[in-house]
Structure 1
Amino acid sequence: MADTTVKVDSATRDRFAAVAASRGQSVRAYLAELAIEEENQVKLGRATAAFREVTRAPGIAEAFDREFGGLPAASSASRAA
């Protein structure tokens, strides 16, 4: 894949560089990983919303609980809600 340039202010560049360095990564590798993580969060948010929508139908939540033993306890560390 071809390289490109993204213009950000120097403070933002320095923040990205510091985070990348603390993880032992290059800025390029860190930003690539960050993009994947953010895409996954968007997908998880959509899936969560879809799940919540379908479980509002009468009897669906009860059927899910019978089949799968209910939902796991909510994690306070979860970003997708």
Structure 2
Amino acid sequence: MADTTVKIDTETRDRFATIAAARGQSVRAYLAELAVQEENQLALGRATAAFREAVSRPGIAEAFDRDFGGLPAAVHRPHRAA
């Protein structure tokens, strides 16, 4: 993979360097890991929104309870998925 340069202020660079050093990583490795984590968080947010939209449709929670027996009595709460 080719290298590139990103211009940031020195304070931000130093903050990244401090965090990376505390984790025993290079700044390059830390930023690569951070990018993956942020991508995962965005994907999780999209999936959560889609799930919430799906279970909010009329009859979905009731159909789930009918087909799969619902939640155990000790855990049963009003339908508040995610």
TM-score, normalised by the number of residues in structure 2: 0.77
The residue that corresponds to 1:41 in the other structure is 41
Identity score, percent: 74
Offset at residue 60 of structure 1 (A): 1.2
Structure 2 gap segments, 5+ residues each? 76-81
Structure 1 gap segments, 5+ residues each? 73-80
Residues 41-76 of structure 1: CA deviation (Å, up to 9, x unaligned): 000000000000010111212334563748x9xxxx
Kindly indicate whether structure 1 or structure 2 has the higher relative contact order, using CA contacts under 8 Å at least 6 residues apart.
1
In our comparison, the structure showing a higher alpha carbon Rg is 2
The alignment yields a C-alpha RMSD, in angstroms, of 2.2
- The residue correspondences of 1:1-80 to structure 2 (distance < 5 A) are 1-65=1-65, 67=68, 69=71
Whichever residue aligns with residue 34 of structure 1, its letter is L
Once residues 53 and 8 of structure 1 are traced to their aligned partners in structure 2, the CA distance between those partners, rounded to angstroms, is 39
Question: How many residues are paired up?
Answer: 72
